[in-house]
Copies of this chain bind each other. A is one copy, B any other.
Amino acid sequence: MKAVRVTVQPEHRSVEVPAGTTALDAVEAAGVAIEAPCGGKGQCGKCRVVLRGEATPPRATERRLLGEAEIAHGLRLACQAHLLGDAEVLVPAEARLGRGHIVVSGVEREVPLEPAVRKIYVSVPPPSLEDQRGDMERLLAATGLNGCMPDGIELARALPRMLRGSRFRVTAVAIDGLLAGVERGRVGAHPLGIAFDIGTTTVVGYLMDLQTGQELAVGSRLNPQTRYGADVVSRVEFAGSRPDGLSILNRAILGTLDEIIDETCHAAQARRRSIYEAVVVGNTAMHHLFLRLPPESLAVIPYVPALTSERYLPSQAVRLRIHPHGRVYTLPCIAGFVGADTVGVALASNLLASRGLRVAVDIGTNGEVLVAADGRLLACSTAAGPAFEGARISQGMRGTDGAIDAVSIGEEVRIHVIGDAPPLGICGSGLIDAVAELRRAGIVNEMGRMASADEAPADLPEAVRARLQGSGATARFLLARPDEHPEGRTVALTSRDVRELQLAKGAIFAGISILLGRVGATASEVEELLLAGAFGNYVRQESAVAIGMIPALEMNRIRSIGNAAGSGAKLALLSKAMRAEAREITRKVEYVELSNDSAFYERFTGAMFLGPMGGEAAPAGRPGGGGA
């Protein structure tokens, strides 16, 4: 069979195909993705190319869809033109598929769509006595790929039958330019990927179309490891407490990831075999438990991980049930308590290229802080604890149905409950709102002391005062009275809850303050402060400023960016440039170990203060509100 050489422009990428191949197939064989929504039937007119070389003459359908003038200029429908000799095919931008840029929702960072995975449909020249190349070498040459994935021997084992069973027409799947899979015939289904953010409490998976950059489905689950320990340290201790501890935690998270794959595939009507790559972020402990790396040394000084660098692994090596020859990419971690999730936040918030002074705070079960200052990047972990996710708060809960997530105090107390359900408890944003409002009303003072009904300001409306019970350490404030609740329940905030919030927000503020000090800046100079974490999306920023959790900035300088760790995972899944940037982040970041920083404890103590704060863990001015 005669072979013809096709050069795709402007890439100048060449490939050899059998004579008679359509320009569409040839362009795809050269690894250039082209629009063909009608599946190459000559109906949609999308696959317009400029063709120079010997080919079958234009058909009626082309004359109709393109017009004579265009045809005179060499325009063709790639699916209708069969190549008879060497040819040059110019694929204009409008006919290209999915190339260009995509914007990841939430963070609105625009990146080039450049996934590691792509599909290439080829018609492989069949062997002859003159051309006895091996099946694998034949396929690699036809696809222009350099070789196989390291575990490619299984592919080679299946290939002879597959080629002969499909008359040498197959769709190859390449990961980073290496052959990873082969499917019979022309496979229209786009290659998929899934990005996972494994949080200590919540696990989220985003099923993505790697050819268009589109998000197809999102699934989330509670991290089932919670039953073996609510926070990172107790979970790490469980792993070390029994021989199968690590395996138990590893199996638990794998089971959940598997459920999320199921759920998202079902929602998107996709097959899990279409998922060729998974990207995983998580804090260092979650990263270790996912990879079944022993996490024990994370929990003891000097908090050393087993592995921090990025990792590419065969899906089977980590038992993630995507395509059997698929690959898993874990973003790098920075330190024992600043993990791949924080690298994800840095990616999503484009901190590396930042000009000026920007701060990103990721509030999950822990609180990590990133400061970017004119080319420098600093990170720390504040060990804020899981107060914002409800732990250690007497009636704390996650932000799900029944959680009070907003509170305002005027003549009466008004609450908002998620899902418009009867109130069951209070979540992080509700907690911050409640304390900010109690401060404003003078019920809680700047030291965090809750007044009794007797001690409360004289001008406090009686309906509000009536919600105060007890005094001193046992004082509590009823956010929902039994008579306000269909089941007669009470939701109250205790004096002790206020103290927990002070500890948590103080740790975060002190972390921000220490990092700003390291770059010689003060809070007032911060040009943008990003609040990441699911929680960051819901917190009322005024309240966060009012209690001094974040520096007192004008509101237009504070922005919530949602689950930025997850967005970072999506970016890395869709764009190889983001993986290079992740490496660069870990190379460049200056990690600040707070447990070793004598200034931290001083700042921390100062940062317990409930009221708007400047950058130095000192009140931003005299706080408003009375009491104390």
Interface residue tally of chain A, by bracket? Answer: 35 or more
Q: Contact between B305 and A134 (Cβ–Cβ < 8 Å)? A: yes
Task: For A356, list chain B residues within 8 Å (CB).
Answer: none
A132 at interface (Cβ–Cβ under 8 A)? Answer: yes
Q: Contact between B160 and A596 (Cβ–Cβ < 8 Å)? A: no
Q: Contact between B150 and A302 (Cβ–Cβ < 8 Å)? A: no
Task: For A131, list chain B residues within 8 Å (CB).
Answer: 302
Q: Contact between B313 and A593 (Cβ–Cβ < 8 Å)? A: no
Q: Contact between B304 and A134 (Cβ–Cβ < 8 Å)? A: yes
Task: For A292, list chain B residues within 8 Å (CB).
Answer: 153, 157
A311 at interface (Cβ–Cβ under 8 A)? Answer: yes
A487 at interface (Cβ–Cβ under 8 A)? Answer: no
From 105 to 156 in chain A, residues with beta carbon under 8 angstroms from any chain B beta carbon are: 127-138, 147, 150-151, 153, 156
A299 at interface (Cβ–Cβ under 8 A)? Answer: no
A277 at interface (Cβ–Cβ under 8 A)? Answer: no
Contact with B along A365-385 (1 / 0, CB 8 A): 000000000000000000000
Q: Please, how many angstroms separate the alpha-carbon atoms of A301 and B160 in the complex? A: 14
Task: For A166, list chain B residues within 8 Å (CB).
Answer: none
Task: For A591, list chain B residues within 8 Å (CB).
Answer: 132
Q: Contact between A129 and B595 (Cβ–Cβ < 8 Å)? A: yes
A297 at interface (Cβ–Cβ under 8 A)? Answer: yes
Task: For A135, list chain B residues within 8 Å (CB).
Answer: 297, 304-307
A336 at interface (Cβ–Cβ under 8 A)? Answer: yes
A601 at interface (Cβ–Cβ under 8 A)? Answer: no
Contact check: which of B157, B294, B307 meets A137 at CB < 8 Å? B307
| Most B-side CB within 10 Å, residue of A134, A159, A161 | A134
Assuming A129-B595, A132-B335, A336-B132, is B318 touching A153 (CB within 8 A)? yes
Q: Please, how many angstroms separate the alpha-carbon atoms of A595 and B160 in the complex? A: 22
A317 at interface (Cβ–Cβ under 8 A)? Answer: yes
Assuming A157-B293, A160-B294, A293-B157, is B129 touching A309 (CB within 8 A)? no
The minimal Cβ–Cβ distance linking A339 to chain B, given in whole angstroms, is: 11
A333 at interface (Cβ–Cβ under 8 A)? Answer: yes
Contact check: which of B128, B136, B150 meets A307 at CB < 8 Å? B136
Q: Please, how many angstroms separate the alpha-carbon atoms of A150 and B134 in the complex? A: 25
The minimal Cβ–Cβ distance linking A277 to chain B, given in whole angstroms, is: 15
Q: Please, how many angstroms separate the alpha-carbon atoms of A269 and B197 in the complex? A: 51
Task: For A157, list chain B residues within 8 Å (CB).
Answer: 291-294, 306
Q: Contact between B314 and A150 (Cβ–Cβ < 8 Å)? A: yes
Q: Contact between A134 and B309 (Cβ–Cβ < 8 Å)? A: yes
Assuming A160-B294, A161-B294, A297-B160, is B132 touching A311 (CB within 8 A)? no
Contact with B along A460-482 (1 / 0, CB 8 A): 00000000000000000000000
List, sorted by A's number, 20 A–B pairs whose CB atoms are closer than 8 Å. A129-B301, A130-B596, A131-B302, A132-B302, A132-B304, A132-B305, A133-B304, A134-B304, A135-B305, A135-B306, A136-B307, A136-B309, A150-B313, A150-B314, A151-B317, A153-B292, A153-B311, A156-B306, A160-B304, A160-B306
**Interface set of A (CB-CB < 8 Å, partner B):** 127-138, 147, 150-151, 153, 156-157, 159-161, 164, 291-294, 296-297, 301-309, 311-314, 317-318, 333, 335-336, 591, 593, 595-596
A-B complex: 5 closest residue pairs judged by Cβ atoms: A134-B308, A134-B305, A150-B150, A127-B304, A136-B307
